[in-house]
Structures are given as structure tokens and as C-alpha cells.
Amino acid sequence: MTINLGIVPPAPREERLARIDNARPQVLVIGGGINGASVYRELALNGVEVVLADKADFCAGASSALSRMVHGGLRYLENGEFDLVREALDERNRLLLNAPHLVRPLRTVVPIDSWMSGTLNAPLKFLGLTRAPSRRGALPLKLGLSFYDIYTRGRGGMPKHAFLSRRKVIARFPGFPDRVRCAATYFDGQVSHPERVVTEIFEDVARAGGKATALNYLAVTHIGPAGVVLQDRIGGGTVTCVPEIIINAAGAWVDLTNNCLAAPPCPAMVEGTKGSHLMIDHPGLREILGDDMVYYENIDGRICIMFVLHGMVLVGSTDLKVPDPDAVRCEADERAYILDGLKYVFPDIEVRDDQIRFIFSGVRPLPVSAAGTTGQIPRGHFTQWLIPATPGAHAPILCMIGGKWTTFRAFGELAANDTLDRLGLKRRCGTETLAIGGGLSYPEDPDAWVADLAARSGLPLPRVATLLSRYGTLAQALAEAFAGEQPLPGLAGYSDREIDYLIAHEQVETLEDLALRRTVIALAGQLDGAAIAALADRLARAKGWSEDERAARVSAFEDRLLADHGIARSRLGNPDCNREVAAQ
Ligand SMILES: Cc1cc2nc3c(=O)[nH]c(=O)nc-3n(C[C@H](O)[C@H](O)[C@H](O)COP(=O)(O)OP(=O)(O)OC[C@H]3O[C@@H](n4cnc5c(N)ncnc54)[C@H](O)[C@@H]3O)c2cc1C
């Protein structure tokens, strides 16, 4: 099902692979997370011929595992990362304007247990004289939040911070424990669906008509005699291309990727820390939180967060060094740590196992550092060239190291500037004020816009409102094309036409792509046997899978959900799983 969104519908995969094979693009970007997508957009819009390849699905790494905060990073002030916080606040404000359908203000509430504690700890940490996480009292928070306010003043930012007395904070959150003396409130941002930002960046590039191709499930494996070898993980073949410059945007895989391309020993650049989140279906907690995020200290003093996202409560996260970014999942001790923290801030809330509807983990691509604790590893970003010792052994590799999701535009801009310099090209345009996808011409009065489109398309008002919140103003073309859509069994909020549209337009290859990244079905706790069957039917039809292949794909997906995402066996429809349950 193709819909005219002002872009040529994507060519079949084989055609796009053929376009890459034996090509001599100016730039090959390795990695289709948010940072790879960002530099790809910068280069393509500036007339550079660029290919992007991801070994898995786009955003299968850290870019779908974040806490979904679009933030300055209050905590980073303790580590003295003032420039990062300043840059991140600027980028947060830009995203609120450039992608208003996906990035929205988020009121944040910080429960405070003491007035002064941490006042000395922050400067001591900054000077490297202590490593221990400490509790943060009202005074150091006041200083940090004042920095936020001073910096964002006059920059189209958000309302100033405020302090709530114990009486007021208990009136708002009666469940807080007795030790809470007051609370601070301030505004940051949240991104509802970060994977869509990447999809829309690719669509924007296609719409601009640049010489650019982005392909998922295409792994850069090594350099052969004919150039960089990329393995097609769908069809099984390989293609080769000869870029002038390689950009290594492989996140936590930066070092592994360098070691595939350049002669060892390559310098170690990144060290990953794993973070996990739980999506909890708890009506009581959902009601308590409302539209606020609670930004709280866990028992060990580490900052954790919880807020309502897609009808579930998102709670996280952890921060643990891991050697292998390909083998991460939320372990039992992490899950216990997250639940203990929840109980520490809301002692009366009981979470049952069956209320944990989805779990996800990812690896932060942090720079190698001598920091004593993971929390002290710098969160900023920088680039580093890897130039071959033997001239011509491989193209120069520009490595993108570190970076927050929030700062992706600035990081992409930095890497693009380095690349343009090396190619001897001048920048033609920038992205500071460029709308992303459905953020273009976003209505000042969304309700009137929705009412008008509902009248024209014949779709019910709430459905058009959902489409606006998912796709921004792209909803206009979609709503008209979805007229006559049918609901899907077990998948409230999605229709046959919407799923068919995503499959046809957005390089969907697997059930996981569809359920975890192109939609928020998994995050919204909707994944069960019926939902998986409905998605598998649409995907099998579009891809021409046989009955056996469909069954094998469903079974593999369910195994993955059981092993990595904490979905209860009893929720899945795979007969093999049910047999195991019966045998237990
Ligand atoms: C738990 C957690 C919470 C976080 N919370 C926040 C937050 O609230 N706010 C915020 O701003 N940031 C947050 N972050 C940080 C943010 O998510 C990351 O900094 C950002 O997503 C990194 O993006 P990336 O594109 O560099 O890496 P990734 O998204 O990991 O992308 C790298 C890509 O490279 C691909 N790749 C690897 N090797 C190869 C190869 N050989 N060939 C082809 N492709 C390859 C991978 O498949 C992957 O898709 C969080 C991160 C984590 C893990």
C-alpha cells in the first residue's frame, strides 16, 4: 500500500542493494541509530552522496532504549559538564519546535529529603575528590535549577523551576514517604517515539531528493580487495562499496567496528554501560503520576525516573558496565533494583509480576574514561579520526563517540562539518530550524486541525487525533488514505491500513521491527498472542511468507520476547510455549 507523502515510495530492497554494490559514495555511515541518521541527514542535505547501513534494524541499539527524556541533564552539572547541559538545553528547545508531534514538555518533580546534603559533594565530585553518589538536598538542586533557568531565559524555553513545601507536595503526591521534606519542579522534554524521529529523518532526506540511500540489516563486516564489504542479513549475499570517507556511528559497537576495518591495534574509544527499563501496567501509579515525571534518588543515591508513557508507567534505569553490546538483557538483579527504587519513593505501591508488561535494555555508548563510577563517565560527544598507518589501506574513518539522544542534531552537525572539511566542500544549509517530518507546518490549534481533517476524511475525531500525535502533519495524507480502514483483532488503536502502510513505506523486515520500533505496540503493553497473530498476518501477506515461514517467524519472535523482554509465557499464543507452560 503506497501513499503519496511527497516522496518516491521506497524501491524494493534488492534494487537498493544493487544501488550500493560497486558504488563509490563520498561517505559511508555505519550505524542507523539517532547519531548515524543525524549525520546522514546533514550530509545528504548538503549535496554529499552518502550510504548508511545498519547491521540490524534502524534504532535497534541505544536509540530505542533511552529513558525518553529530552533534557539538559540536571545530573551532569554535578560532574561539571556545563557545556553539555547548555548545548542539550538548546537542542531540547529546538526539538520542541522542530518535532512538536513527538517531543513535548514534561513537568518534572524531584522529591527532596534534606536541605543541605550534597552541597559539598557536587564540587568535590567536580574536583575529583569524591566518587560516591550522594543524596541531593534542596540547596544543590536550587543551584542546578537556577542554572537551567538562567540559561534558558529568553530562549523560548519553558517555565521556571519552583519549590513546593512539604504540605503542597504531599497534597499532590500523598504516597511520598515521611522523609520527603519538599520538592522541586521544573520542565524538561520527553520524546514519545524516538524511533519515528529516525524514520522521519530518512523520509525528509528522500523528499529532499539527495543522492542518499539508507538500508537496515546490512552489516559492515570487513575491508576486502574491492572495498568495504557489507553483508545482507535478509537475503544472505554481500555487496561492496568504496567510500571516500567512512563515518563510524556504531554507538557501543564503535571499537568492534573499527577492529573490522582497520589494522589492529585500534585505540579503545567507547565503553558501554547497560541500562534497563520496565513498562508497568499499574492503574494506581498511573493515576498518581498523571502528567508529571518523578525524578528520584534510588536507595544508593542514583537518579531514576518514572512517568506515564503510552498508557504504561516507564520506570528505570540501571547503569552497569558491559563488555558485549550484543548480549544485553535486563537481569533479575536489575529488575529488583528498579522495583526497590520504586518502593523507596512510593512505599505503598505493590507491583505484581503480571503488571510488568515489557522490559527493554540498551547500551549507552560512553567514551572510555578513568571515572570511578559509571555515573561519572562524561555524557558529552566528540569525533576522532582514525587514519590508516599505511596510506590507502582504508578510507579515513571518522568515529562518533559518546552523545545523548537529546544532542543528536548538534553531534550530527559536528561530524558533518569534519567530513565536509575533509572533502573540501562548503556547507550549504543547516538543520537548526529545520522541521522533522510531521513537525512541518504543525498547527497552532491542533484541535481545530483534527476536527477539520476528521470532517474531510470521514475518520472519527479521536482516531485523527491519534494520527496527529503519531505522525504530525503527515497525518493529513494518511487519514485520507486510511478511510475505510478496519480494526485489527487484539490491537486497539491500529488498523489494517496503518500497519500495511508502515510495512510498505518503512523498511519493515521482521515482526520485531513492526511491534517494537515502527509502532509502540510493545511499549504500550499490547503484545500478546492475538496481537502477534494480527501483525504476522499483515507481514506474511506483504512479504509472501508461506504458512511454515510465518509460523517460524512468530516462534522466533516469541522466543525473543520471553528471553529479552520479560513478556509472560501465558500472554503468548505460540503453541510450543503453551505446551511448555502445561508441562511445568
Ligand atoms: C538506558 C539508557 C537510557 C538513556 N536515556 C536517555 C535519555 O533519556 N535522554 C537522552 O538524551 N539520551 C539517553 N540515552 C542515550 C542515548 O540513547 C544514546 O546516546 C543514543 O541513542 C546513541 O545513539 P547512537 O546512534 O550513537 O547509537 P545506537 O543507537 O546504539 O546506534 C548504533 C547502531 O550501529 C549499528 N551497528 C553496529 N555495528 C555495525 C556494523 N558493523 N555495521 C552496521 N551497523 C552497525 C547498530 O546495530 C546500531 O543500530 C540513554 C541510553 C540508554 C542505554
pLDDT tens by residue, 64-109: 999 999 998 888 877 788 888 999 999 999 999 999 999 999 999 9
C-alpha distances in Å from residue 158, one per residue of 70, 110, 185, 583: 13, 17, 12, 56
* Mean pLDDT of the region 31-49: 98
* Mean pLDDT of the region 222-234: 96
Ranges of each domain in the chain = 20-62+195-269+379-423, 271-361, 440-583
Average per-residue pLDDT in the chain? Answer: 92
Given a contact cutoff of 8 angstroms between Cβ atoms, the answer to whether 532 and 560 are in contact is no
**Topology of 271-361 in CATH?**
D-Amino Acid Oxidase; Chain A, domain 2 (3.30.9)
Residue 378 confidence (pLDDT) above 70: yes
Given a contact cutoff of 8 angstroms between Cβ atoms, the answer to whether 213 and 10 are in contact is no
Lowest mean pLDDT among 152-156, 327-331, 409-413, 522-526: 152-156
* Mean pLDDT of the region 205-223: 95
| Structure confidence at residue 134 (pLDDT) | 62
Distance 61 CA to ligand 1 centre (A): 5
Q: Please name the CATH architecture into which domain 20-62+195-269+379-423 falls.
A: 3-Layer(bba) Sandwich (3.50)
Lowest mean pLDDT among 138-147, 230-239, 291-300: 138-147
Q: pLDDT tens digit string along 436-493?
A: 999 999 999 999 999 999 999 999 999 999 999 999 999 999 998 998 999 998 899 9
Neighbours of 172 (CB within 10 A): 14
- Predicted TM-score of the model (pTM): 0.94
Neighbours of 389 (CB within 10 A): 8
Distance 569 CA to ligand 1 centre (A): 29
Largest CA distance in the chain: 72
| Structure confidence at residue 147 (pLDDT) | 87
**Confidence at 578, pLDDT banded by 50, 70, 90:** very low
Question: Residues lining ligand 1, CB < 6 A?
Answer: 30-36, 53-56, 60-63, 65-69, 219-220, 249-253, 257, 275, 317, 362-365, 403-406
Residues 6+ away with beta carbon under 8 Å from 312? 279, 280, 281, 286, 357, 358, 523, 524, 525
Q: pLDDT tens digit string along 192-207?
A: 999 999 999 999 999 9
* Mean pLDDT of the region 562-577: 79
Distance 114 CA to ligand 1 centre (A): 35
| Structure confidence at residue 392 (pLDDT) | 79
C-alpha distances in Å from residue 228, one per residue of 29, 235, 244: 12, 18, 11
- ω before 317 within 30° of 0 (cis)? yes
* Mean pLDDT of the region 136-165: 85
Ligand 1 atom 26, closest CA: 251
Residue 279 confidence (pLDDT) above 70: yes
Instruction: Report which of 133, 164, 104, 79 is spatially closest to residue 369, judged by C-alpha positions.
Output: 79
Q: Which DSSP string do the residues of 488-532 spell out, in sequence order? A: ETTEEEEEHHHHHHHHHHTT--SHHIIIIIISSTTTTT--SHHHH
Residue, of 441 and 263, whose pLDDT is higher: 441
